[in-house]
Amino acid sequence: MSAVIENHHDDHHHGPDKGLMRWVLTTNHKDIGTLYLWFSFIMFLTGGCMALVIRAELFQPGLQLVVPEFFNQMTTMHGLIMVFGAVMPAFVGLANWLVPMMIGAPDMALPRMNNYSFWILPFAFSMLLSTLFMEGGAPNFGWTFYAPLSTEYAPPSVTFFIFAVHLMGISSIMGSINVVVTILNLRAPGMRLMDMPLFVWTWLITAYLLIAVMPVLAGVVTMMLMDIHFGTAFFSAGGGGDPVLFQHVFWFFGHPEVYIMILPAFGIVSAIIPTFARKKLFGYDSMVYATASIAFLSFIVWAHHMFTVGMPIAGELYFMYATMLIAVPTGVKVFNWAATMWQGSMTFETPMLFAVAFVILFTIGGLSGLMLAIVPADFQYHDTYFVVAHFHYVLVPGSIFSIMAAAYYWLPKWTGNMYDETLGKTHFWLSFVGVNVTFFPQHFIGLAGMPRRYPDYALQFADWNMVSSVGAFIFGFSQLLFLFIVIKCIMGGKKATDEVWEGAEGLEWTIASPAPYHTFSTPPELPERSMA
């Protein structure tokens, strides 16, 4: 505790060097949460610029801006940066800021490891981005880096890509261990697991997923490294290996990974909707069990990404039905959010707008996912823009909108100032329109047969691609408004009161979970023996 307190008071009193070193050496969960959030925002803008290069190229048929090779590098880097650099670090940043405060802990359980797990990331991503300037160029094999494209036919920079992936994995594992230990060991006295806010629950489950699957990713990139440099043949048919083995190992990591990118979002939305509906969350227990069910099922459906590789029919049937089963707990969640809003005294401040948009658009993404689970249909959808539309509907209005909702919702708590509500709503509507104009038409061109990851396309796809590209630029540039709003809020503005959201509880989390035995504003009454 004394270290935490010292750290708090070291803040601003020792000139510029001390100011910089405060951020480099900090073990304070709020500082580290802030670092994660700024880092993820920089990566979001970086990956976003790459997406805009892709959409500018696809604005009309023919080759406009870039050579096909560079187009492939952009699709690869965009995916890797958005998944590992933008979405995941943002959620870890939110966990750092909020989990200790929500469970009444003084800090994260392992503060020095917390600092280390952040500072690995800038080096990992600098290395990944540096491959753009290497001989042979950046990785060009897609964010799923299927062998043999990523082994036998990869540019020389693939080795640096592998090292960068290892570093990201190490960071994720350390961050997750920290979250688990903090939640299990540092809860306020009297707070049982079923008293925790749902954001804490979703992160506890997410952390277990990360600890389980990150070593699998490390394994698959290590096997790639061996194939490239040490003469093994894990993924080379010529040496007795199998390229499909790569897909199995990758997706055994990759499918839980996509849930890692959405579970914390469920927690955020479960905190925001009750606040602005002014009602307790409907069905808290069922939300916890639904989250755990989704996490469990995420491990046993991986091969639905590989229906076209020539699986036995029994395998296809199993993975089809198991995948459809995920719709059940997900449906429970959507029902509970709708029931929470039902007959609530709703107001639509910016966080609520993002949260409601999340529920509607994430559901659309879930329904297209259900379509993709149907094996004979998937044979047609596979590797078309329909798949791109599907996963962007869960990742952009899903993960990204929830992160933005969280930023608006907790900014007053973090900064002590209110953000500009008018600008916030403007940002929401620009983003909402931009996202839908970008990704909804991709369902159509996908169903019409346009394959993904090509820089050129047949003439009949031109109109919808033009619409899609216009939407992408609207969405992309509206994020500069978000940056302005956040900086403006940090710099000053109307002071936030103790009860930030009028009519809502002061401690937002008390209504996103069962009423605790106490409000934690006064110490709980403890049994005699535990006072010792």
**Catalytic residue positions, numbered:** 78, 107, 143, 171-172, 255, 257, 259, 270, 304-305, 330, 333, 452
Instruction: Assess whether the previous peptide bond of 148 is cis (omega < 30° from 0).
Output: yes
Beta carbons within 8 Å of 452's beta carbon, 6+ residues apart: 383, 384, 385, 387, 388, 446
d(CA 414, CA 99): 14
d(CA 461, CA 280): 47
The neighbour count for residue 230, using CB atoms within 10 Å, is: 7
What are the structure tokens assigned to 165, written together? 């992936």
The neighbour count for residue 325, using CB atoms within 10 Å, is: 16
User: Three-state SS across 56-77?
Assistant: HHCCCCCCCCCCHHHHHHHHHH
d(CA 275, CA 280): 8
User: Which residue is associated with the tokens 């640096």?
Assistant: 160
Furthest CA-CA distance within the chain = 78
d(CA 113, CA 177): 10
Measured CA distances, 14 to 11, 26, 400 (Å) = 8, 15, 37
Three-class DSSP category at 36: helix
